[in-house]
């Protein structure tokens, strides 16, 4: 699952939060957030802000492609 899909799912589970509302909660314009979505490029600090805006915890893991084991 891509980070974009994860964000969309979290928005739905948090009460169907729109992209415009998520942008407002993270202190950016809807256009700026939309551009990041289109490029699917987010900094870790941006993901932390999105997680905070959705009242979630951000976890990033390294997963072995062959075994599926979480390495770190």
Global model pTM greater than 0.75: yes
Contact (CB, 8 A) for 54 and 22: yes
For 26-38, what is each residue's pLDDT tens digit?
999 999 999 998 9
Report CA Rg, the chain. Answer: 13
For 1-53, what is each residue's pLDDT tens digit?
788 899 999 999 999 999 999 999 999 999 999 999 899 889 999 999 999 99
Segment 18-24 long-range contacts (CB within 8 Å, at least 24 positions apart): 22/50, 22/53, 22/54
Instruction: Dig out the tokens for 1 from the structure.
Output: 């699952």
Helix ranges (DSSP H) in 1-72: 3-13, 19-25, 30-39, 44-53
């Amino acid at each position: 699952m891509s980070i974009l899909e994860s964000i969309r799912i979290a928005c739905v589970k948090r009460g169907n939060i729109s992209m415009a509302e998520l942008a407002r909660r993270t202190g950016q314009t809807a256009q700026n957030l939309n551009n990041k979505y289109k490029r699917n490029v987010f900094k870790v600090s941006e993901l932390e802000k999105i997680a905070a805006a959705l009242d979630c915890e951000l976890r990033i893991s390294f997963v072995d492609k062959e075994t599926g084991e979480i390495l770190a």
